[in-house]
Amino acid sequence: MRILVVEDETKVARALQEGLERQQYEVVVAGTGEEGFYLVSAEEFDLVILDLMLPGRDGLQVLGTLRKRGLVTPVLILTARDAIEDRVQGLDKGADDYLVKPFAFPELLARVRALLRRGRTQQVALRLQLADLEMDLVPRRVRRGGKDVECTASIPGTPKDEALESKAGVLPAACLKAHFASTSACLH
């Protein structure tokens, strides 16, 4: 199981990494919101542990953007912000759980296990495939015949990028087949 920890406090990040690795999790640490956003967009994780008070792009901005793009990976907010309004805002932005610092590590582990159990049953397909054409919705990568395809512009008459960011990132199958068929024709 891969966990992304987005935490700017070095001591906290190191303690989380060491503790989670002792439990046999693979842990990747990002020190800024921008780095965390990049990593979760480019790689697959089973869980994200996200601080809110990050340099540059804060945790709520990262979370909001990821959810708008259809990311369904469970997110646990781990922050010093302890006001009820902060908790409500974090959960409303798309967090699956919220834990306030300082925290007891056994409680964090219990929450991690619970989110990972739930996350496995809630995952939806974020990779679409038609013949040798594949599209990963979260990192926004397209491959044809196993080779990356650079996509720089939309194709007239096909679903636009905003449609892929629609609620839950779900499009009707017929719409996707039409999009893949027209995209496929343009790539030949």
Q: Is residue 116 domain-shared with residue 46, that is, in the same domain? A: yes
Reading the chain (188 residues) residue by residue, the pLDDT tens digits are 999 999 999 999 999 999 999 999 999 999 999 999 999 988 999 999 999 999 988 999 999 999 988 888 999 999 999 999 999 999 999 999 999 999 999 999 999 999 998 865 444 456 677 888 877 765 667 888 888 887 765 555 555 444 444 444 445 555 556 555 555 554 44
pLDDT of amino acid 173:
56
Instruction: Provide the number of structural domains found in the chain.
Output: 2
d(CA 83, CA 93): 16
d(CA 70, CA 125): 10
Q: Is residue 153 domain-shared with residue 104, that is, in the same domain? A: no
Exposed / middle / buried, residue 160 (Cβ in 10 Å: 0-12, 13-18, 19+): exposed
Q: Is residue 15 domain-shared with residue 106, that is, in the same domain? A: yes
d(CA 104, CA 91): 21
Condensed to tens digits (0 to 9), the pLDDT of residues 114-142 reads 999 886 544 445 667 788 887 776 566 78
pLDDT of amino acid 5:
97
CATH number at residue 110: 3.40.50.2300
d(CA 148, CA 53): 35
Terminal Cα distance for the chain, rounded:
38
Q: Is residue 57 domain-shared with residue 39, that is, in the same domain? A: yes
Q: Is residue 20 domain-shared with residue 107, that is, in the same domain? A: yes
Q: What is the pTM of this model?
A: 0.66
pLDDT of amino acid 50:
97
Q: Is residue 141 domain-shared with residue 166, that is, in the same domain? A: yes
